[in-house]
């Protein structure tokens, strides 16, 4: 994993930001996926989670155990967030306990919360071995998942768990709260009742982590990206599989509200008075209209904050190493604006000379629909090299062999995609604008190539074009 070198003061200053990001992320997971059925039980994931937390609270457990009970099944939600259907015969995400453990540590939750999350399945396996009749007491769904979770614990595994009596007792108590939380008629508070406790626990944990950092003690699993956005292992699996990752609701409400202003400010940059590039297209009866602005993030503070903060962090995570900005553009697709023919960005990035692979990040400013020309991708076709093409446009025969998915984003959504992923978009047939920013990165170890790319583009791009590829479906009039 990647770890930034942060001073203890900087880490402490980031604690409140990280806690706010984490609580918002967790709340969003429950809001978007918590109403899903809980592994075949007659209640939702949210109902089960809150009931488990209330059972822990009623038993007089400390707040980290209560929060652990609330979040112990977050791995199931992470699988759904990444777009995976429930596995284990339809009963949930495989290894949800391990996925949840790593994710919660990354967000900054205490070790105890993560530990209980990781071992609540082992507690079931242990009790099936040690407690007569326990297996028969399990619900049908819990029996099904047991078969996918290693089955009844072996004697050797049980003896290993019994080496720590305190940990074993804690996780066995925790299991009782889990099993008791399956009443479809139970009344319970909302998730809001727990958010402040989660926020406080994260701040305390990060404070302790910063102290360990200053004394060179072994630290926990806090992600270096905790103050922006921590990707789960399920999201990374989706990225590796598809060559793309759609992150819904990635930005905060405040950031989403600012997007329109940021797009307008980029669109009003004066042509010829800076390093930015401004392109116009001809639409309708000869109207000249803005269609793209490039090379602006290093010259606009707010765009720079977004680009070199959250967006760069996301790319560094999918690359598993530090990334650096390669190019930046904002496409303005107005009413009647042209689309893009199917292509791979790799052919437009001077890939033979300037880095071997790139990751582009789409930041949605406006809703994208089929009618206004949403991005369309051929998911999973990113590992087949460069497809046959003519001046960057993939041949029709190859295009017809591909299955394309419309990415119908909402403002604040983010989509990462590989430079070898085939994609396209149709013209805007509506009366409204559709604006999307595309920020592209390469691995830092291959060099900071942003300036070199724009020098190369100016050298080789044909007059009347918008890209090294001739994939734009409209008419450039610059």
Neighbours of 288 (CB within 10 A): 11
pLDDT band for position 285 (50/70/90)?
confident
The pLDDT assigned to 2 comes to 42
Whether residue 158 is predicted with pLDDT greater than 90 in this model: the reply is: yes
Spatial distance between the Cα atoms of 374 and 428, rounded to a whole number of angstroms: 9
What pairs with residue 292 in β-bridges? 279, 331
Q: Who contacts 151 (Cβ-Cβ below 8 Å, separation ≥6)?
A: 125
Spatial distance between the Cα atoms of 124 and 202, rounded to a whole number of angstroms: 28
User: pLDDT of 10-57, one tens digit each?
Assistant: 455 589 999 999 999 999 999 999 998 766 678 899 999 999 999 999
Mean pLDDT across 242-249: 97
Return the ∠ at Cα 130 (arms to 124 and 131), rounded to 5°: 80
pLDDT band for position 73 (50/70/90)?
very high
The pLDDT assigned to 8 comes to 44
Sheet with 375-377, edge to edge strand ranges: 389-390, 393-394, 340-343, 423-425, 375-377, 405-407
Sheet with 244-247, edge to edge strand ranges: 244-247, 414-418, 359-364, 434-443, 323-333, 287-294, 277-283, 475-476
Average per-residue pLDDT in the chain?
91
Cα dihedral sign, 140-146-151-155: negative
The pLDDT assigned to 443 comes to 97
Whether residue 9 is predicted with pLDDT greater than 70 in this model: the reply is: no
- Closest Cα to residue 444, out of 370, 355, 380? 355
Cα dihedral sign, 95-100-106-110: negative
State how beta strands 475-476 and 340-343 pair: unpaired
User: pLDDT of 317-372, one tens digit each?
Assistant: 999 999 999 999 999 999 999 999 999 999 988 667 789 999 999 999 999 999 99
Q: Give me the percent of the chain exceeding a pLDDT of 70.
A: 94
The pLDDT assigned to 216 comes to 58
On whether the CB atoms of residues 307 and 347 are closer than 8 A, the answer is: no
């Amino acid at each position: 994993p990647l770890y930034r070198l942060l001073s203890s003061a900087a880490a402490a200053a980031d604690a409140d930001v990280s806690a706010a990001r984490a609580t918002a992320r967790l709340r969003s997971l429950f809001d978007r996926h918590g109403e899903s059925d809980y592994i075949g039980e007659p209640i939702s994931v949210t109902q089960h989670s809150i009931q488990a937390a209330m059972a822990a609270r009623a038993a007089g457990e400390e707040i980290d155990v209560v929060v652990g009970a609330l979040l112990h099944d977050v791995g199931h939600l992470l699988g759904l967030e990444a777009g995976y259907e429930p596995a284990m015969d339809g009963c949930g995400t495989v290894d949800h306990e391990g996925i949840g453990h790593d994710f919660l540590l990354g967000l900054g939750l205490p070790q105890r919360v993560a530990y209980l999350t990781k071992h609540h399945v082992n507690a079931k396996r242990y009790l099936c071995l040690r407690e007569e009749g326990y297996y028969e007491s399990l619900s049908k769904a819990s029996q099904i998942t047991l078969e996918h979770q290693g089955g009844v614990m072996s004697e050797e595994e049980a003896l290993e768990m019994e080496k720590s009596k305190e940990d074993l007792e804690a996780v066995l108590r925790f299991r009782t709260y889990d099993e008791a939380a399956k009443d479809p008629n139970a009344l319970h508070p909302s998730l809001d009742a727990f958010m402040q406790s989660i926020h406080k626990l994260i701040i305390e944990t990060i404070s302790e982590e910063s102290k360990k950092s200053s004394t060179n003690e072994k630290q926990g699993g806090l992600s270096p990206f905790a103050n922006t956005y921590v990707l789960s292992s399920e999201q990374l699996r989706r990225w590796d599989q598809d060559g793309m990752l759609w992150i819904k609701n990635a930005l905060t409400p405040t950031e989403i509200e600012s997007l329109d202003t940021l797009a307008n400010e980029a669109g009003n940059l004066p042509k010829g008075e800076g390093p930015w590039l401004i392109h116009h297209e001809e639409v309708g009866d000869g109207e000249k209209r803005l269609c793209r602005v490039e090379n602006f993030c290093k010259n606009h503070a707010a765009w720079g904050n977004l680009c070199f903060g959250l967006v760069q962090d996301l790319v560094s995570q999918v690359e598993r190493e530090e990334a650096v900005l390669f190019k930046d553009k904002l496409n303005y697709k107005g009413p009647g604006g042209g689309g893009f023919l199917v292509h791979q960005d790799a052919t437009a990035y001077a890939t033979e000379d300037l880095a071997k692979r790139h990751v582009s990040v789409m930041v949605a400013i406006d809703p994208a629909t089929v009618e206004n020309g949403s991005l369309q991708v051929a998911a999973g076709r990113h590992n087949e090299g460069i497809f046959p093409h003519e001046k960057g446009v993939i041949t029709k025969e190859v295009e017809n062999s591909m299955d394309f998915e419309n990415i119908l984003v909402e403002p604040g959504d983010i989509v990462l995609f590989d430079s070898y992923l085939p994609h396209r978009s149709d013209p805007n047939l509506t009366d409204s604008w559709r604006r999307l920013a595309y920020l592209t990165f390469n691995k830092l170890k291959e060099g900071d190539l942003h300036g070199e790319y724009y020098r190369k583009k100016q050298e080789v791009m044909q007059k009347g074009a918008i890209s090294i590829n001739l994939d734009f479906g409209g008419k450039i009039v610059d």
